[in-house]
Amino acid sequence: MEGETLMTRAREMLDTHPGSAAMDTDALIECIDACFECAQTCTACADACLGEEMVEHMKRCITMCLNCSDVCVTTGRNVSRQTESEPAMVRAALQACAEACRLCGEECERHAREMNMEHCRVCAEACRRCEDACNRALSAV
Work out whether 114 is an interface residue with a copy of itself (CB under 8 A): no
Choosing from 23, 104, 124, 137, the residue that interacts with a copy of itself (CB under 8 A) is 104
Q: 29 exposed, middle or buried (CB, 10 Å; 0-12, 13-18, 19+)?
A: buried
Distance CA 76, CA 117 (A): 27
- 53 phi/psi in degrees, rounded to 5: -60, -40
Report 2-61 residues binding a copy of itself (CB under 8 A): 5-10, 12-14, 16-19, 32, 36-37, 39-41, 43-48, 50-53, 55-56, 59-60
Work out whether 1 is an interface residue with a copy of itself (CB under 8 A): no
Choosing from 31, 126, 133, 141, the residue that interacts with a copy of itself (CB under 8 A) is 126
Closest CA to 46 of 24, 20, 65: 65
Nearest distance in Å: CB 87, a copy of itself? 10
Nearest distance in Å: CB 65, a copy of itself? 11
Report 64-93 residues binding a copy of itself (CB under 8 A): 64, 66-71, 73-74, 76-78, 80-86, 88-90, 92-93
Longest CA–CA span in the chain (Å) reads 51
Residue 124: C-alpha distances to residues 2, 21, 60, 87, 116 (Å) = 23, 30, 14, 28, 13
